[in-house]
Amino acid sequence: MIIKDQETTLETIGTIQDESAFKMRSSQKAFQILSSLYSDKPLAIIRELGCNAMDSHIASGQPNRPFHIHAPNSLEPWLTIEDYGTGISHENIYDIYAVYFASTKTNTNTQVGMLGLGSKSPFCYTDNFTITSKHLGVKRIYNAYFNAQGMPTISLASQENTNDENGVAIQIPIKSSDFGNFNHAIWKAFRFFDTKPTISGHEVKWDNNKPNFEGSFWKSFHGHSHGECIAIMGGVAYPIDIYKLDNKHYDIARKAGLVIHFNIGELDVTPSRESLMYHDWVIQTLNEKFELVQKDFCSNVEQTIKTSPNLLDALMALYKLKNQWSFLNSSLINGKVFWNKIDISEPRTSIKTYAPNLTSYCKTTWGRKKVSESCYPLFQNNALWYFDDLKKGSLKRINQFVRSNGNSEIAINLVNKSEMNELIKAGFPASTFIPTSTLPSVNTNRAVSGSKNVKPKGVINLYDAGYMYHQSWDSKPFDLTTGTAPKYYVVKSKDGWFAEAGVLKDVNGNPIFTPRTKTQLEDITSFLGINLEKDVKMVAQANTKYLDQLGSKNLADVIENKKVSVDIDKISMSNLIDKSVVQSIVKNKKFQSLSDDNSFKTTILEQNQILEDVKSVESIKKYFKCDDKKSLTFPSKMVSLMYNACRCWQVGADMVIDTLLEQEQNS
């Protein structure tokens, strides 16, 4: 990114007798300060290295090609960010990684790099990392580390010819306690990238939140998770300090949840790239952009309402506008609004023209009263529209449905048949209305006659796991007569997802730990071979009987009946194994050339198999009944010494394997 130099006016007092320019001394302390610019280290590393990967793709003419990230996990505790761009020559690698403030991108606004600091960002977290560069048919692996004097150093570890395409991969060891922070940082760093990276090692679910309104260079996410005003430049998100803006833009910046895109170079950022630099020209650029957003916002919103495909969409859009963006200077807020020649200026009262007896129902969040009633319609996104097709009992069914639904935002708008027909004539989609007879009948103590296998009728609420980093689940109506029942369900409960906390017992009759988070539940379902997102839903306790009738299984029963055989020696050994070393040795081409009876090769393969066998058992065994067993023999002292030598930067796996191959050839 081209850095805008600021003109400086020099004013002196008196006569200059002598002068000396300020200098920077190269020292351990200076490099430590430059490597510790970041307040959020995992986010900084992933953002900086990811931007470098994107820049490399742009430079190689592949701007829409995704780079790849390997996220750290218990079996592969490292972060790798790999691109398939230009690669780096041996001549340039030392300038790029060993010289601070040296950047190849300061003369272009097609790339986001500028200060030559991002490539060194791993040093804010670790003392060493590896750089693999494939350039013009040669693959070179470098070690970047702090030497004995505490100075950042880069050294060539290996070199070989390759047929692989150009590219660079940065690999960093990650502590197990930081896995979650790095995995969340991947989502946070790249959630606004147009071309998102491919991910292995951990599943990252990008937001599917749709904007309330959007224009050519902005989107409004009022009420969504990030809730702040964000500037996007080169894919990187920068929070905007709304107090730096002109007063006339304060309301829209504070309330509209704006995400605004800027061209690279339109704004200036701090050296850490964690925030904007508020020079006078940056503030002027922000104000000019907000001026355009405000004008575009008003015209775009007005057009959205006027061109709504049906009356209900127009009413909902106008209601949302009036309630959430009343601060806008829009003719739609203060004047008359028409849709298809129908006056909808007051959404909640205009609909009463067609449905004077309409009543809405929703669950309250205060007091003892379970369900509130209103003579005005509710226009929230998950409001359901029902028409009364029963002679009696509709209100009891509605109240039961609203009460049994754990989501306090559920709402029902009820009209009679004639009112429904009038609304359809006015412009409501006919598919909007659901007959009240489909709601579950009210529970009574009377015995149910007939077959127990009769398919239940009605609509209940099920919950999808949705976004893994949010504790809440996504509520969706489920039609018992036509919907496909989930394979498994968990029970919604304030004490956990399994009706009673501690209801599961181990072989000794002791309570098994009950999962409380989505991550814990994902560990369990992955071990069982169950897709949490597709095959598991959450349901209120009162509605489990309907799913039972449809053949769904309670996941708690599956867990309680599952017995896991756990090799405690293997788990102990896996904790001692340096997973990255073992797996890098196994992938080494020379390693495969060792004879099958070589004790070093045998031991490494055994340790790799241990990692494969243990996998996720350690993280999920507390949820299952377990039988412990012992089976391991530990490697000889000589093999252990060779294994430890492979971990040393000065020796490395290549040298150990070469020595073993030479011994085999001589013998």
Average pLDDT over residues 82-96: 89
Which pLDDT score is estimated for 607?
Answer: 79
Tell me the pTM.
Answer: 0.53
Residue 444 one-letter amino acid? T
3-state helix, strand, coil in the chain (%, to 5): 35, 20, 45
Q: 91 pLDDT exceeds 70?
A: yes
Q: How far is CA 273 from CA 102, 106, 129, 636, in A?
A: 16, 15, 22, 50
Which pLDDT score is estimated for 96?
Answer: 78
For residues 599 and 639, is the Cβ–Cβ distance under 8 A? yes
| Displacement of CA 473 from its chain's centroid (Å) | 15
- For 232, the token pair is 């996007």
Q: 147 pLDDT exceeds 90?
A: no
Cβ contacts of 472 within 8 Å, gap of 6 or more: 466
| Among 176, 182, 178, 173, residue whose Cα is nearest residue 42 | 182
Which pLDDT score is estimated for 558?
Answer: 79
Which pLDDT score is estimated for 408?
Answer: 53
For residues 287 and 249, is the Cβ–Cβ distance under 8 A? yes
For residues 133 and 87, is the Cβ–Cβ distance under 8 A? yes
Q: 67 pLDDT exceeds 60?
A: yes
Q: For residue 154, which phi and psi values (nearest 5 degrees)? A: -130, 135
Q: Which residues pair with 628 in a beta bridge?
A: 566
What's the length of the chain?
A: 667
The residue that leads in pLDDT, 419 or 16, is 419
For residues 389 and 437, is the Cβ–Cβ distance under 8 A? yes
Which range in 175-184, 434-443, 648-657 is most confidently predicted, on average pLDDT?
175-184
Which pLDDT score is estimated for 200?
Answer: 92
Angle, CA of 572, 574 and 580, to the nearest 5°: 155
Where does the pLDDT of residue 109 fall: very low under 50, low under 70, confident under 90, or very high at 90 and above?
very low
For residues 220 and 324, is the Cβ–Cβ distance under 8 A? no
| Among 152, 134, 159, residue whose Cα is nearest residue 82 | 134
| Among 106, 122, 110, residue whose Cα is nearest residue 49 | 122
- Does an H or E element contain 231, and which? strand 230-233
Collapsing DSSP to helix, strand or coil, 346 comes out as coil
Share of the chain above pLDDT 70, in %: 72
The residue that leads in pLDDT, 630 or 614, is 614
Can you point out the beta strands (E) in 22-110? 68-70, 78-82
Average pLDDT over residues 417-443: 90
Q: 21 pLDDT exceeds 70?
A: no
In this structure, of 273-287, 517-531, 625-639, the range with the lowest mean pLDDT score is: 625-639
Q: 643 pLDDT exceeds 60?
A: no
Which pLDDT score is estimated for 113?
Answer: 42
Q: 307 pLDDT exceeds 50?
A: yes
Collapsing DSSP to helix, strand or coil, 193 comes out as coil
In this structure, of 117-121, 122-126, 237-241, the range with the lowest mean pLDDT score is: 117-121
In this structure, of 75-89, 413-427, 543-557, 648-662, the range with the lowest mean pLDDT score is: 648-662
| Among 338, 270, 286, residue whose Cα is nearest residue 308 | 338
Residue 168 one-letter amino acid? V
How far is it, in rounded angstroms, from Cα 534 to Cα 652? 45
The residue that leads in pLDDT, 410 or 432, is 432
Where does the pLDDT of residue 448 fall: very low under 50, low under 70, confident under 90, or very high at 90 and above?
very low
The residue that leads in pLDDT, 96 or 567, is 96
In this structure, of 125-134, 468-477, 544-553, the range with the lowest mean pLDDT score is: 468-477
The residue that leads in pLDDT, 95 or 535, is 535
What is the dihedral sign for C-alpha 170, 171, 174, 178? positive
| Displacement of CA 664 from its chain's centroid (Å) | 50
Q: 112 pLDDT exceeds 70?
A: no
Which range in 233-242, 476-485, 538-547 is most confidently predicted, on average pLDDT?
233-242
Averaged pLDDT score across all residues of the chain? 79
Q: For residue 281, which phi and psi values (nearest 5 degrees)? A: -70, -30
Task: Kindly give the residue spans of alpha helices, DSSP state H, lying in 115-205.
Answer: 179-190
Average pLDDT over residues 259-272: 89
- For 514, the token pair is 């009950």
Taking each helix axis from N to C end, the angle separating 637-646 and 652-666, rounded to the nearest 10 degrees, works out to 130
For residues 375 and 405, is the Cβ–Cβ distance under 8 A? no
Express each pLDDT in 236-251 by its tens digit: 899 999 999 998 888 8
- Listed by start position, the domains of the chain span 28-200, 209-345, 349-438, 459-561, 566-666
- For 19, the token pair is 């002068």
Where does the pLDDT of residue 328 fall: very low under 50, low under 70, confident under 90, or very high at 90 and above?
low
Which pLDDT score is estimated for 99?
Answer: 62
**How does DSSP classify residue 203?**
-
Q: 634 pLDDT exceeds 80?
A: no
Strands 563-567 and 536-540: unpaired
Share of the chain above pLDDT 90, in %: 26
- For 662, the token pair is 């030479």
| Among 238, 243, 291, residue whose Cα is nearest residue 262 | 238
Strands 488-492 and 342-343: unpaired
- For 406, the token pair is 């754990």
Angle, CA of 121, 122 and 127, to the nearest 5°: 130
Which pLDDT score is estimated for 629?
Answer: 58
Q: 631 pLDDT exceeds 60?
A: no
For residues 43 and 51, is the Cβ–Cβ distance under 8 A? no
Q: 74 pLDDT exceeds 80?
A: yes
Q: 667 pLDDT exceeds 80?
A: no
Express each pLDDT in 172-206 by its tens digit: 999 989 999 999 999 999 988 889 999 998 888 88
Which pLDDT score is estimated for 355?
Answer: 92
Which pLDDT score is estimated for 100?
Answer: 52
CB atoms < 10 A from the CB of 150, how many? 13
How far is it, in rounded angstroms, from Cα 600 to Cα 331? 79
Which pLDDT score is estimated for 267?
Answer: 92
Which pLDDT score is estimated for 276?
Answer: 93
CB atoms < 10 A from the CB of 52, how many? 23
Express each pLDDT in 149-160 by its tens digit: 777 788 999 999
CATH code at 28-200: 3.30.565.10
How far is it, in rounded angstroms, from Cα 109 to Cα 105? 8
| Among 257, 178, 194, residue whose Cα is nearest residue 224 | 257
Express each pLDDT in 352-393 by its tens digit: 889 999 999 887 755 445 688 888 888 877 789 999 999 888
Angle, CA of 81, 83 and 86, to the nearest 5°: 140
Q: Which residues pair with 269 in a beta bridge?
A: 276
In this structure, of 418-422, 511-515, 593-597, the range with the lowest mean pLDDT score is: 511-515
Where does the pLDDT of residue 7 fall: very low under 50, low under 70, confident under 90, or very high at 90 and above?
low
| Among 307, 302, 304, 301, residue whose Cα is nearest residue 340 | 307
CB atoms < 10 A from the CB of 609, how many? 11
Strands 68-70 and 198-200: parallel
